[in-house]
Structures are given as structure tokens and as C-alpha cells.
Amino acid sequence: MQPVFRRLAALPLILGLGLGAGMADAAIVLRSPGKGQVIEVDLPGNPSTGYRWVLNAEASQGLEIVEVEMRGYGAPESDLIGAPAPFRIQVICTLPGQAQLRLDYLSPDGSTVARSEDLHVTCD
């Protein structure tokens, strides 16, 4: 499943994306037209496994120019038990500049990172 982007507020412009199968070997690149604009990203996941996406603040840069909200899992892709569902993340630009956000897909006990994704955000 590829990440899905939703455009909110003044319609952020998405420049491009890449999704690596393991650790982040390609980055998702996002551009927002300005302060207060919301970019919503859905990353693939499965709530029945207990895995969840978390912001790795230590490996991220530019957190002072964005607010990041981990919104949790959305509706499953099907009615089947154990079906995958998108995990929603909101990024809000608060200042102009660039941020590099590392998101880790953590095991239920938090001991294992199954995969990572990088979001490169430019706030105008």
C-alpha cells in the first residue's frame, strides 16, 4: 500500500514521493504553501498487529517549524478481520523553513522498528 496524501486548508502541493520496503531509502517530499497549512499523510499499517507509527524526534530535524499529530488508524481497507488500515499523520507548518521527519513503525512493545519513512517538508 502506498502512502496517501490529503490536501487540507489551502491545498498543499505534493512534489513527489518514494516508499522504501525496508528502512527509509527514499523520502516522501511535501511542500506547503504557508503557515497554518495542514498536510495529511496516510501510511500503511495494520491495527490488528499492534504495530503503530511514531515520530522519532531524535532522528528528526526542524521540529520547531512544524506541529506533528499522530492521528491513529483510519477505517480498514475491507471488512475482513485483520485487514490493513491507513495510519494518519498530520503535519502543520508553523514557521517557514524545512523539516525532516523520521517516522518509525514500532512493534507493540516498542522494542523493534519494522520500517522507517522520512518526510521532507518545506513550509513557505
- Topology at the third CATH level for domain 4-123: Immunoglobulin-like (2.60.40)
Q: What pLDDT is recorded for position 28?
A: 73
Q: What pLDDT is recorded for position 36?
A: 82
96 contacts 114 by C-beta, under 8 angstroms: no
Three-state DSSP class for 47?
helix
Q: What pLDDT is recorded for position 34?
A: 72
45 contacts 31 by C-beta, under 8 angstroms: no
Q: What is the pLDDT along the chain (124 residues), one digit of tens a residue?
A: 444 444 433 333 333 333 333 334 456 787 776 778 888 999 999 999 999 999 999 999 999 999 999 999 999 989 999 999 999 999 999 999 999 999 999 999 999 999 999 999 988 8
- 69: β partners: 90
- 49: β partners: none
CA pair distance 41, 18, nearest whole angstrom: 13
Three-state DSSP class for 21?
coil
Enumerate the domain spans of the chain.
Answer: 4-123
Q: What pLDDT is recorded for position 120?
A: 92
Q: What pLDDT is recorded for position 26?
A: 52
